[in-house]
Amino acid sequence: MHCTKQPFRCSPLGLPGPLPYTAPIMPRPPLLPIFIGLLLGATQALAQAPRLDLPDASPHASLTQRVGLTEITIDYHRPAVGKRKIWGGLVPYGETWRAGANENTTITFSTPVTVGGKQLPAGKYGLHMIPTPTTWTVALSTVSSAWGSFTYDPKEDAVRFTVTPAAGEPEESLEYTFEAPGETSANVVLRWEKLQVSFPVTVDTRAITLASLDAQLRGLARFSWQPWNQAAQWCIKNACDPQRTLGWVEKSISLQPTYINLMTKAALLEKQKDAAGAEKLRAQAMKLATESDINQVAYQLLAQKKYDEALTMFRKNVQEHPESWNCHDSLGEALATTGDKKGAVQSYEKALALAKDPSDQRRIDTVLAGLKK
């Protein structure tokens, strides 16, 4: 009997014939790579899962105070006292503290300011403090993106200064406030537990405002008379350079002479002891004055208790605008203020006869009822 080699084998009769097909046996893959792949897939899925927004033990807070044109913003987290010892306990003495919780407490200035006797450029600063039982060191760091004070480096300080803490009303959660804000300064105050610490921030508001006005008057504002006049009025009030002020008001007049900008220039000449020039301009301004202009000046005189001058202006307005209910109404108010009830009643009755708006009519009726009692 002769049998061939595979894929043939001998038949039961010993005759050669084809073998039936059988699938090859494949080797079993190793289990470790599969396990690692599944683990990596699960890790990636967890990394992509959304993070829930939950209450923070030390909630985030921020506050902003405007000083002149400068905005000061403090951004911080507010830890609570609970039943813990804070000073010399949770906040150790002699160690740098983040002056809040979590990441850096920061303080941002929109313009240059002076803090701790040193002028700082506009920008954001990390706020750190080093408390002791008697004095505190306050440091504003040029690094504002750190987590807490763990990487704080004194070499990166923009300014460092010492303050004295004071006793304060109990404060459960740390809080920052701005106290005594004015045109040129504000005090930054930290309150927590039964202690408060403060330091002033001062601003050269006049220099900053002048620079801002220069920039604004190079934009669209330069094409209207009102902005130039506003700038000049601010300068007169704040005793700025007379030449700059004069240039601005004259630019306003060149665009459109009005009662308002002529009166602004008259006020500037008055401050420069040029009484004759000021009087000439006032006379010129009166020829351009509108009903509203005269009314505004009359009320300013009334507020200054210059009653005779105020009444002269109110009567001038009535004479020039006899059909204006508002002119009669304003004269009535001035007469009532000076004690002339009879004259006030007459003016208010004329105003009532000319008024068209029901709300104006009701108001005048109420005033008249009070005067006639």
Which amino acid is residue 233, in one-letter code? Q
CA dist list (Å): 114 to 138, 180, 205, 289, 352: 14, 16, 11, 45, 57
Q: Could you report the per-residue pLDDT of 291-335, keeping only the tens digit for each?
A: 999 999 899 899 999 999 999 999 999 999 999 999 999 999 999
Q: What is the CA radius of gyration of the chain?
A: 40
Point out the residues of the chain with pLDDT beneath 50: 1-17, 19, 21
List, by residue range, all CATH 1.25.40.10 domains of the chain: 305-373
Tell me what pLDDT residue 327 has: 96
The reported pLDDT for the residue numbered 48 is 75
Q: Which fold has domain 305-373?
A: 1.25.40
The pLDDT tens digits of the residues spanning 223-277 come to 999 999 999 999 999 999 999 999 999 999 999 999 999 999 999 999 999 999 9
Residues paired with residue 87 on neighbouring β-strands, in sequence order: 91
Query: Looking at domain 204-288, does it have CATH number 1.25.40?
Result: yes
Q: What is the per-residue pLDDT for 45?
A: 53
Tell me the three state secondary structure of residue 104.
Answer: coil
CB 281 within 8 A of CB 293: no
The H helix count followed by the E strand count for the chain is 11, 12
Inter-residue long-range contacts of 279-288, CB under 8 Å, 24+ positions, other chains counted: 285/258, 285/259, 286/259, 288/257, 288/258, 288/259, 288/262
The answer to whether 99 touches 131, Cβ cutoff 8 Å, is: no
Q: Tokens at residue 371, please?
A: 């005067």
The Cα 257–Cα 244 span in angstroms is: 19
19: CB partners within 8 A, 6+ apart: 6, 7, 8, 9
pTM recorded for the entire structure: 0.75
Res 373: pLDDT: 84
For 282, the token pair is: 């006032």
